[in-house]
Amino acid sequence: MNELIIESTYSTPFVNFNSKSGILKLEGRSIPENPSIFYDPLVNWLTELSKDAKDIVVRMEVKLDYINSGSTKSILTMLRLLKHLYDEGVDCQVNWHFEEDDESIRDLGKHYKNVLRMPFNLIEIYT
């Protein structure tokens, strides 16, 4: 399975999904006008990963400084795919990074953590 790398733009985050290392990075700003155009390839990649993920550790690193409402739905879809892997016995973990004064990103992470009920770390970044 190929690595998925997408460079960041003003409205979309940097993506580096690596099936060999199991590290899935999502960093930057997520405010695309049409989130499905950006996130559908990521969801498809994760769906493919789920076919071969039995022997790897999957760690998703989310470091977003702004997320629009459309993106939150797409991100939840991706996290639910990870939850499915976790329920199937794959070692999965989400590390949700947020800046110390960013209550909205923190609260969104708390919400996802409560909904998903899987290893989900809220990591405060001090600036």
Compute the chain's Rg from CA coordinates.
14
Task: State pTM to two decimals.
Answer: 0.94
Of the pLDDT bands very low, low, confident and very high (cuts 50, 70, 90), residue 50 is confident
Instruction: Decide if pLDDT at 100 tops 80.
Output: yes
Angstrom distances, CA of residue 103 to CA of 16, 64, 98, 115: 26, 13, 8, 18
**CATH code for the structural domain at 4-125:** 3.30.750
Q: Are strands 14-17 and 23-30 parallel, antiparallel or unpaired?
A: antiparallel
Residue-level pLDDT at 1: 78
Mean pLDDT of the chain: 94
Domain residue limits, the chain = 4-125
